[in-house]
Every structure is written in C-alpha cells, then in structure tokens.
Amino acid sequence: MSLGFLNSTAQMHAPRKTQPPTVALDVSDAESASRVTITHGNMFGNDLIKSTLFGALFLAASYSFVSMGLDTDYNLTNPRIATIVIAAFGGLLCLLIRDTTTLFNTLLGYYIGLEIFLIQLTFENATSTTEAVTEGWSWTAGFVILIHLIPFLLLNSGMLLNLLAYVGLLVNILTILYLVPLYGGKFLLLYGISGSALIVGTVNKSSLSIRQLAVDLIKSR
C-alpha cells in the first residue's frame, strides 16, 4: 500500500472547513414594519376622528330636535329650509359610514342626545313637583338614565352593552309614560326607534368604543 493512497484517504475523511453562513440584513423589513405601524396609527386616528365627529353631530341633531324642533312652526320658510338642509346633510353622513365602529358610535351619539333631554325633563320634574313620590321617582329615573350611558363610552360591544341598551329602552318608555306623559305622543316612537337601533348596534362584536379607539391610537404611536 503506497503512502500516496494513505494520504488521499486521509484527505477524504478529514473534516472539511465550513464557512460561516452569510447573513444578509434586509433594511426593507424594518422599513416595512415601520410603514405598517404608521398605517395602523393613521387608521386608528381616522376611526377615532370619524366616530367622534359623527357621534357628536348626531348627538347635537337629536338634542336640538327634541328641545326645539318639536315646538317649531314648520309653516314658516326658515324652519323648512333648515330641516331640509339638516336632513340632506345627515343622510350624506349616513352614506359615508363604512364600518361597524362608526355606525355604533353614530347611533350612540344620536341616542345620547335624546337621553340628555330626557334627563333634563326628569330633573326639572323632580324640582317642580310637590309630591314626594313623584320627586323621588324622577330623581331615580334621571340618575339611572345618566349612569347607564357611561359604559357605552368605555366598553366595546358585548353582552353587558346589549343588556344596558335593552334596559335603557324600557326605562325610557316607563319614564315617558309615568313621569313626563305630556311628551308621550311625541317621544314614544322616537325613543323607541332610537333605543332599538342602539340594541342592533351593540350586537356587532367588532364595534369599538371611543375609549378603545383612543387606546389603540396611543399604542400604535
């Protein structure tokens, strides 16, 4: 056996030197992640602005209607023009709603506007009545209506909000019938439809509250 053969065999079985793997850092990945973060931040910001704006506009519209519009003389030209403009603008806003979160907060704003006026009526009734029982029930109804609105601003859609929306509908109807019956004919259908619409809005599990939109926006920054 030749020495040349031994040398060649040793070379065959000798461990090969391996080069360390080359790691290529792609800067575009970091840039893409940054773009995604910015995109999410913009999305949350747009949702927050849109939900807040639509909710506030419908809150103002509903409160203005029940506080002033019910006693307006619509035979006059100015109230007619104002009503047509408000209806056209409100309908346009509704056409711009493309997501359940904006829809939920818009319905909530409209509902809160009506509730503010009903709370105002119950407190006025409590301070003006001479009957202790009526006064007690008026204060109770007003505070119950006020307190039940708070979770809608803090929580996302869920079973609790479904229950609160349903209870709120019943409390509104009972309050109108027994504490402010003078407004019964004008308010029952209006408050009934608004409460029912809010129940429908709380059923969708993807709807987010104003608070959650603000939290998501802060986290995305």
Secondary structure of the chain as H, E, C letters: CCHHHHHHHHHHHCCCCCCCCCCCCCHHHHHHHHHHHHHHHHHHHHHHHHHHHHHHHHHHHHHHHHHCHHHCCCCCHHHHHHHHHHHHHHHHHHHCCCCHHHHHHHHHHHHHHHHHHHHHHHHHHHHHCCCHHHHHHHHHHHHHHHHHHHHHHHCCCCHHHHHHHHHHHHHHHHHHHHCCHHHHHHHHHHHHHHHHHHHHHHHCCCCCCHHHHHHHHHHHC
In a domain, 117, yes or no: yes
In a domain, 31, yes or no: no
Domain that holds residue 117: 50-220
Number of domains in the chain: 1
Q: How much is the pLDDT for 183?
A: 86
Q: How much is the pLDDT for 16?
A: 53
Q: How much is the pLDDT for 219?
A: 84
Q: How much is the pLDDT for 17?
A: 52
Q: How many CB atoms are closer than 10 A to CB 141?
A: 25
- Determine the average pLDDT of the residues in 9-17: 51
**59, pLDDT greater than 50:** yes
Looking at the chain, the whole-number percentage of residues with pLDDT higher than 90 is 58
Mind listing the pLDDT tens digit for each residue in 63-119? Answer: 999 998 888 899 999 999 999 999 999 999 999 998 889 999 999 999 999 999 999
In a domain, 26, yes or no: no
Q: What Rg, from alpha-carbon coordinates, does the chain have?
A: 31
Question: Which amino acid belongs to residue 179?
Answer: L
**4, pLDDT greater than 70:** no
What confidence tier does 21 reach under pLDDT thresholds 50, 70, 90?
Answer: low
In a domain, 34, yes or no: no
- Determine the average pLDDT of the residues in 149-160: 88
Q: How much is the pLDDT for 70?
A: 82
- The burial class, CB within 10 Å (0-12 / 13-18 / 19+), for 77 is exposed
In a domain, 43, yes or no: no
In a domain, 65, yes or no: yes
When mean pLDDT is compared across 6-20, 95-109, 116-130, 196-210, the lowest value belongs to: 6-20
Place of tokens 């009903």: 118
**36, pLDDT greater than 50:** no
In a domain, 24, yes or no: no
In a domain, 29, yes or no: no
Place of tokens 């803090």: 154
**Rounded CA separation 119/160 (Å):** 22
- The burial class, CB within 10 Å (0-12 / 13-18 / 19+), for 68 is exposed
What the block records as the tokens of 152 is 């809608």
- Determine the average pLDDT of the residues in 119-128: 95
What confidence tier does 155 reach under pLDDT thresholds 50, 70, 90?
Answer: confident
